[in-house]
Amino acid sequence: MFLWSKTGLCVIDACGIYIINLKRTWEKVLLAARAIAAIENPADICVISARPYGQRAVLKFASATGSTPIAGRFTPGTFTNQIQAAYREPRLLVITDPRIDHQPVTEASYVNIPVIAFCNSDSPLLHVDISIPCNNKGAQSIGLMWWLLAREVLRLRGTISRDHPWEIMPDLYFYRDPDEVEKEEKEALERAKEETTPAQPEWATEPGIGGGANVTDWADEVPVTGGAIQPEMVIAEEWGKVEDWTTEPVQPMAPVDPAAGGAPAPSWGGSAPGESWD
């Protein structure tokens, strides 16, 4: 026997367990996506998750839709204190858990900011305008809900088509343990080293490689075989040697007789013998 709750978001079985109605969940996702797509400037939408399981999903949602993320601790006064550096004036607020993110919900009520929240069956609905019933405590459930909301927002904006599946997988929105990520990175690095390291060649271990004797002590003199050719010392000619030209005999020049019909020596402007300057 099942009984509907007052809000109609879940049913109650005979044992008192609340079962979430997935049909109403999808209807609320569509309503929230329409409200988000109605904001002209995507940066005016603030998405918040103080729960560690939702921080990666919030960052991925902000990257896909262009909204402003706050992953981790929310600084009190972000929406009300204008003198601090982290002051913001968003037009819409989307949170992961109303119980954990109670501070931004309270401040949003002071400045009239509408709030969209992923709510569990025990979540408070005070100051929440649109509640999306889902499991907001599981790592995979939170990631899947943020992925569904991001996909519907992009479809309403016309960024992606409804005829083709979205290429982004829900796994990218799931929480991952930092220790597990570090372990996977180390394993991938080790595999890469094993693939890139070349195999060592097997060298010959027989003594006397190349036909020579196996020498263990290099200080010992190696005997020379009788058939070895002794090199001869060849004295190279000194190419830089310069001959002494002064040692050669000088050939005497024969005297020239001008009367013998030779041409007279030219005058260089000197006076002839017996010429008077008067």
Contact between residue 96 and residue 48 where contact means Cβ atoms under 8 Å apart: yes
The total of structural domains in the chain comes to: 1
Instruction: Supply the range of the domain harboring residue 44.
Output: 3-183
For residue 39, tell me if it sits in a domain.
yes
For residue 234, tell me if it sits in a domain.
no
In terms of Cβ atoms closer than 10 Å to its own Cβ (0-12, 13-18, 19+), residue 251 is exposed
58: domain CATH number is 3.40.50.10490
The predicted model gives 232-259 an average pLDDT of 60
> Per-residue pLDDT tens for 137-194?
888 899 999 999 999 999 998 888 888 888 888 888 888 777 776 777 777 777 777 7
> Per-residue pLDDT tens for 6-34?
556 667 666 777 788 888 899 999 999 99
For residue 196, tell me if it sits in a domain.
no
* Residue with the larger pLDDT of the pair 272 and 3: 272
For residue 156, tell me if it sits in a domain.
yes
Q: How confident is the model at residue 1 (pLDDT cuts 50, 70, 90)?
A: very low
- Calpha distance 166→30 (Å, rounded): 17
What is the DSSP pairing of strand 92-95 with strand 115-119?
parallel
- Calpha distance 278→274 (Å, rounded): 12
For residue 261, tell me if it sits in a domain.
no
For residue 29, tell me if it sits in a domain.
yes
Average pLDDT over the chain, rounded to an integer: 77
For residue 251, tell me if it sits in a domain.
no
Q: How confident is the model at residue 197 (pLDDT cuts 50, 70, 90)?
A: low
Q: How confident is the model at residue 262 (pLDDT cuts 50, 70, 90)?
A: low
Q: Tokens 């010392």 identify what position? A: 233
For residue 155, tell me if it sits in a domain.
yes
- Calpha distance 62→45 (Å, rounded): 9
> Which pTM was predicted?
0.62
> Per-residue pLDDT tens for 56-103?
999 999 999 999 999 888 889 889 888 988 888 999 999 999 999 899
* Sheet of 92-95, strand order: 68-71, 45-49, 92-95, 115-119, 130-133
Q: 126 φ, ψ to 5°?
A: -70, 130
